[in-house]
DNA sequence: GTTGCAAACGATAACGATTCTCAATATAGA
DNA sequence: TCTATATTGAGAATCGTTATCGTTTGCAAC
């Protein structure tokens, strides 16, 4: 239950937090901006202050429930932390985000950090390109 | 000469642009924010409008003279584009930035993008960890 | 060397994203 | 149920960045 997730994270169980967490778990799009979350909730009849959305996301991130990504395009997206690690590829035309995992790259990163004398704690790898989805190509003109 | 670099990039040679380019070439720190550049110039007696700094950096980037990076910390830094492509490793304790290049990773990225149907145009790989420089370790307490 | 004009400049207003403030409200434990 | 405390929402404030606009500059033709 979502309320348990909040409790386990040391957060009080409040209506806004539950709504936001539930949205993150049920949305078809795994990567959303704070604005998108705010808008989707509003469209669903759950008007939650934008400030509250930001606060909740910050708390969820601190608690390890979600992860925040800053793409070079400037957009900041949040995604539920579930399943194994992965990196991202972003379409520079339509903004679409996909995930991938590559064992070879993961391994090389560890080796590189070690060879430079770093204790690796995290990494961010994002590829940028143009996707071939019909929707994206259609809007090309 | 810096003025030639500007001319070759198709940019008019102006005092502000020259000052900024020269600073980028001579600064000890290769990775600077727009604010830092503005401040360093001001400290050196060269008061250049912040808007002009941003404009020049955008033009330099468009011309391929410099590269912009958005680190997950949120800061946006610019660095002179010289020498071959490389990625970054940032110390999460002291903020130190180092560069590295790995052929294996570069190659895998191309393969991954292709396999997902993307026309790869760019990528951002940043590792985060704790470095072992004496200065950094010293300030650990 | 002067002139003309487009491009670039600086100051500041505007902007979008995010954070802060504060009075009102809701949560969780006694 | 009551109370102390954390959380909320609305809007003001802030941050980094971009746009506006009147003035100045670079530079090519004269």
**Lowest model confidence (mean pLDDT) among A64-68, B81-85, B128-132:** B81-85
| Chain D bases near protein Cβ (<7 Å) | 6-12, 16-20, 25-27
What share of chain A in percent tops pLDDT 90? Answer: 73
In chain B, domain spans: 1-82, 83-141
- pLDDT tens per residue, range A69-127: 988 878 899 999 887 889 999 998 888 889 999 999 999 999 999 999 999 988 989 99
pLDDT for the residue numbered A139: 61
Q: What are phi and psi of B132, to 5 degrees?
A: -115, 25
What's CA B74's distance to the chain center, in Å? 14
Contacts of B123 in chain A (CB under 8 A): 125-128
Of B8, B92, B12, the C-alpha closest to A122 is B92
Helix (H/G/I), strand (E/B), else coil: B104: helix
Nucleotide nearest the Cα atom of B57 (by C1'): D17
- pLDDT tens per residue, range B112-122: 999 999 999 88
Same fold, A1-82 and A83-141: no
Q: Does residue B141 carry a pLDDT above 70?
A: no
- Output the CATH code of domain A1-82: 1.10.10.10
What's CA A73's distance to the chain center, in Å? 15
**Burial of residue B82, with CB atoms counted within 10 A of its CB: 0-12 exposed, 13-18 middle, 19 or more buried:** exposed
Sequence-separated (6 or more) residues with CB below 8 Å from residue B26: none
Measured on CA atoms in the order B89, B91, B95, B96, is the torsion positive or negative? negative
CATH entry 3.30.1490.190 includes domain A83-141: yes
- pLDDT tens per residue, range A43-83: 999 999 999 999 999 999 999 999 999 888 788 999 998 87
């Amino acid at each position: 239950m979502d309320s348990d997730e909040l409790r386990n994270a040391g957060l009080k169980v409040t209506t806004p937090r539950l709504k936001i967490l539930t949205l993150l778990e049920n949305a078809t799009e795994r990567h959303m901006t704070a604005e998108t979350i705010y808008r989707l909730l509003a469209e669903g009849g759950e008007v939650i202050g934008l400030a509250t959305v930001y606060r909740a996301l910050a708390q969820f991130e601190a608690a390890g429930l979600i992860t925040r990504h800053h793409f070079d395009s400037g957009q900041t997206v949040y995604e539920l932390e579930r399943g194994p690690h992965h990196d991202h590829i972003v379409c520079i035309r339509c903004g679409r985000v996909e995930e991938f995992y590559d064992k070879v790259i993961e391994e090389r990163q560890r080796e590189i950090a070690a060879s430079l004398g770093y204790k690796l704690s995290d990494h961010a790898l994002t590829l940028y390109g143009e996707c071939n989805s019909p929707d994206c190509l259609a809007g090309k003109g």
